[in-house]
Amino acid sequence: MAGGWDVDRLEIHVRPVLGTKRLSKVTKADIEILRDTIASGRTASKKKTKARGVRNAPGGAGTAARAIRVLSSVFAHAEDHELISRNPCRGVKVQPSNKCERFLMVASAMGMDV
């Protein structure tokens, strides 16, 4: 099951571009258009949520990459259940995630209660 942020990402960035298009009709070209639209910030939104709350969804390359990854998992699930013949997200280039590999330094380890 997708987390709340993933559902929001699909609602905010994917639905405005793909609309009510059936899963079986979505093509790789549609996914590339979606990626470029989100990356350029055209799906960006700001919405008032509560008395003082605001939901800011700026878009950008990182948001596009995460949205495509979430959408790819949706299509993979549909492919597993034979609802579609091929995942249209397969082969679409997205920005790599900015995860850094961190190392524990000896000085840091000395200060830890192990």
- Report the CATH number that the domain containing residue 60 is assigned in CATH: 1.10.150.130
Residue numbers of the domain that contains 83:
4-110
Q: Could you give the residue ranges of the DSSP H alpha helices within 25-105?
A: 28-39, 61-80
Cβ within 8 Å of residue 75, ≥6 positions away: 23, 26, 84, 87, 88, 89
pLDDT digits (tens, 9 = 90+) for 25-82: 999 999 999 999 999 988 877 777 778 787 777 788 888 999 999 999 999 999 999 9
Per-residue model confidence (pLDDT) at position 108: 62
As for how many domains the chain has, the answer is 1
Give this prediction's pTM.
0.72
- Residue 1 predicted with pLDDT over 50: no
Q: How far is CA 65 from the centre of its chain?
A: 5
Q: Which range scores top for mean pLDDT: 53-57, 82-86, 108-112?
A: 82-86
Tell me, what's the pLDDT at 97? 67
